[in-house]
């Protein structure tokens, strides 16, 4: 009888053992690490679709780290009962299968995205080299324009495809343009650069949808949901183990009380009190350190730390938790970059009782700054009196940097769009307007042509030729931006700019006139610096035009109307180093600019027209 009682007491004592907190924290840490690595992989894969990726090693390393965590998580803590272990094993297998599926999809994505990124890198080079090669043979070649338009369409197609903004709508126009280039090329044209352009464009059309589909499949995998489901199941198993331990502990107290009836009542009461203290201490320890992979702290309402863990000390750059608690005695003043953040934090806790996702910038021990996210609650006694604040701290500096990088990528894409279209038109396109066409009652159009450029081009290499044009046209571009004008296009050595659209302005004629005078100064300075003899012939006209995006989906902004044609005639029938303007433009400039009457000249398609030469601006000071 006595032997059986001792055996029963021993068995109950084993069952009454509290759960192993060290093993518990290890397993929770591994679950958290696995979920964090999974999230990093998703973000890196999504980011790699919009930038040129030379090395996938960081993602591959993340998968290797994920596998290490998987191995650690296969060893379920021993305090979990067999039934829960079977449930956890089944849930774990489901989770593992989805993670393995993600890795298989990543391998396919890596291959397809590498092909896509290579084609996106080589396409602009092939188009540029073909344009240089073709201009030496035929500057007015339609193939050059079509190749450049194909490059613009491909850039927009890739941009909208990565933004999930309807890039597939450009597929048909791009295929049509490829067919046009192929027909113009014919069998006689054997340009490797043109063939490379067509091949890369087709590869982009083929691989972009596949890359988008693979990314969508990867992001759609319910890894996060399965991870949360597994974590919740594990938490329920831990709670069950803890409840079972408590039941056996109570049973142990009862048996001990029965077996030790001879022990004085004082001893029994002391044992009960000790058990209650142990239980309270165990619950307090579990509450504070149940999420030990994050920084954990308890702080007073007046801004002092009561208790912190080592993770929080590491986040703030301290060697130990004790050093952090002793060094900081005013959290608002010593920790937060903006001291009022602590008062805002306290006010939210007083009002809501808890706070989640409270982001702030804080100082580390060395004076550097980081971003943190806080989750906290107010702890009160049974009477409702506030005791302290308790919560977790997460270092989100890397996430903030990633968000900033993502914002910069978006801005870079927007800048690329602004290189093709005016800002107001680009914004309307982003709003997915179906048709963009506007009538303007009055604008001023300028055409300029480099006289003597053809002769100069014959003496220069293709690279020198492109550098020369880029130097001159870049200076013209800066000038147009300075006067608030809109550059429409360049064709060979010709330059077209307009004032008064897409945003109407009253002084458009004056702004265009000042730019024309500035362009002459730029050419004069260029000739002096480079010992050249280039001349600039400029024509200007004022009147109504229609402006819009040609073909709606091709994203080429252009102007139409008799005003444009007449401005072009003013340039072609003008004189070198002179600025020829029509009578309409003359009427708007005569009070502020010096103009010379050229008289009537015959203009193709218009008959005789009265024209003037713009000489300069009237100096009101004299």
Share of the chain above pLDDT 70, in %: 82
What pLDDT is attached to residue 2? 45
Is residue 79 within 8 Å of 20, Cβ to Cβ? yes
In whole angstroms, give the CA distance from residue 186 to residue 386. 84
What pLDDT is attached to residue 426? 47
In whole angstroms, give the CA distance from residue 467 to residue 456. 13
In whole angstroms, give the CA distance from residue 370 to residue 363. 7
Residue 445: band (very low, low, confident or very high) from pLDDT cuts 50, 70, 90: very high
pLDDT tens digits, 344-402: 999 999 999 899 999 999 999 999 999 999 999 999 988 889 989 999 999 999 888 88
Kind of pairing between the strands at 535-550 and 579-582: parallel
Least confident of 287-301, 379-393, 395-409, 465-479: 287-301
What pLDDT is attached to residue 325? 93
pLDDT at 49 over 80: no
Residue 410: band (very low, low, confident or very high) from pLDDT cuts 50, 70, 90: low
Question: Which residue has better confidence, 406 or 391?
Answer: 391
Share of the chain above pLDDT 90, in %: 33
Residue from 93, 91, 74 nearest 26 by CA = 74
Tell me how crowded residue 272 is: count the other CB atoms within 10 A of its CB: 12
In whole angstroms, give the CA distance from residue 543 to residue 581. 12
Residue 1: band (very low, low, confident or very high) from pLDDT cuts 50, 70, 90: very low
What pLDDT is attached to residue 285? 55
């Amino acid at each position: 009888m006595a032997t059986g009682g001792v055996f029963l007491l021993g068995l109950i004592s084993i069952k009454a053992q509290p759960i192993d907190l060290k093993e518990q924290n290890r397993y929770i840490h591994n679950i958290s690490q696995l979920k964090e690595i999974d999230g990093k992989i998703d973000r890196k894969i999504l980011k790699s679709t919009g930038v040129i990726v030379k090395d996938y090693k960081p993602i591959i390393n993340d998968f290797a780290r994920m596998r290490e965590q998987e191995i650690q998580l296969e060893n379920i803590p021993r305090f979990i009962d067999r039934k829960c272990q079977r449930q956890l094993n089944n849930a774990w297998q489901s989770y593992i299968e989805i993670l393995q599926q993600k890795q298989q999809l990543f391998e396919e994505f890596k291959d397809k995205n590498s092909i896509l990124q290579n084609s996106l890198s080589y396409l602009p080079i092939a188009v540029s080299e073909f344009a240089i090669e073709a201009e030496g043979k035929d500057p007015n070649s339609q193939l050059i324009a079509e190749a450049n338009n194909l490059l613009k369409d491909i850039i927009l197609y890739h941009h909208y495809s990565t933004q999930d903004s309807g890039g597939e709508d450009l597929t048909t126009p791009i295929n049509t343009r490829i067919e046009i280039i192929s027909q113009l090329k014919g069998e006689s044209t054997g340009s490797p650069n043109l063939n490379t352009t067509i091949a890369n464009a087709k590869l982009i059309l083929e691989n972009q949808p596949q890359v988008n589909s693979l990314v969508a499949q990867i992001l759609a995998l319910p890894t996060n949901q399965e991870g949360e489901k597994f974590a919740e199941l594990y938490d329920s198993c831990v709670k069950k183990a803890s409840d079972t331990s408590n039941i056996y502990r109570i049973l142990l107290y009862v048996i001990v009380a029965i077996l030790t009836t001879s022990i004085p009542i004082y001893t029994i009461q002391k044992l009960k009190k000790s058990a209650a203290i142990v239980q309270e201490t165990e619950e307090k320890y579990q509450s504070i350190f149940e999420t030990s992979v994050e920084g954990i702290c308890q702080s007073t309402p007046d801004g002092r730390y009561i208790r912190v863990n080592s993770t929080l000390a590491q986040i703030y750059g301290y060697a130990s938790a004790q050093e952090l608690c002793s060094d900081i005695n005013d959290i608002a003043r010593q920790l937060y970059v903006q001291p009022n953040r602590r008062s805002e934090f306290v006010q939210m806790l007083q009002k809501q009782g808890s706070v989640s996702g409270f982001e702030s910038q804080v100082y580390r021990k060395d004076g550097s700054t980081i971003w943190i996210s806080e989750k906290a609650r107010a702890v009160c006694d049974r009477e409702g009196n506030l005791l302290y604040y308790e919560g977790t701290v997460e270092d989100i500096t890397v996430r903030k940097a990633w968000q900033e990088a993502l914002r910069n990528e978006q801005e870079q894409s927007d800048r690329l769009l602004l290189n093709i279209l005016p800002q107001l038109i680009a914004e309307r396109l982003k709003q997915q307007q179906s048709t963009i066409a506007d009538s303007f009652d009055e604008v001023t159009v300028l055409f300029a042509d480099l006289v003597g450029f053809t002769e100069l081009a014959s003496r220069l290499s293709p690279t020198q030729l492109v550098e020369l044009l880029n130097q001159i046209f870049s200076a013209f571009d800066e000038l147009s931006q300075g006067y608030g004008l809109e550059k429409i296009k360049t064709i060979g050595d010709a330059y077209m700019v307009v004032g008064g659209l897409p945003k109407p302005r009253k002084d458009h004629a004056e702004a265009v006139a000042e730019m024309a005078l500035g362009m002459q100064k730029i050419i004069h300075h260029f000739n002096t610096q480079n010992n050249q003899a280039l001349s600039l012939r400029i024509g200007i006209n004022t009147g109504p035009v229609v402006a819009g995006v040609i073909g709606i989906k091709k994203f080429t902004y252009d102007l139409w109307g008799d005003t444009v044609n007449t401005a072009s005639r003013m340039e072609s029938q003008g004189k070198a180093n002179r600025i020829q303007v029509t009578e309409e433009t003359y009427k708007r400039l005569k009070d502020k600019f010096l103009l010379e009457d050229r008289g009537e000249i015959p203009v193709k398609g218009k008959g005789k027209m009265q024209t003037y030469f713009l000489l300069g601006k009237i100096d009101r000071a004299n």
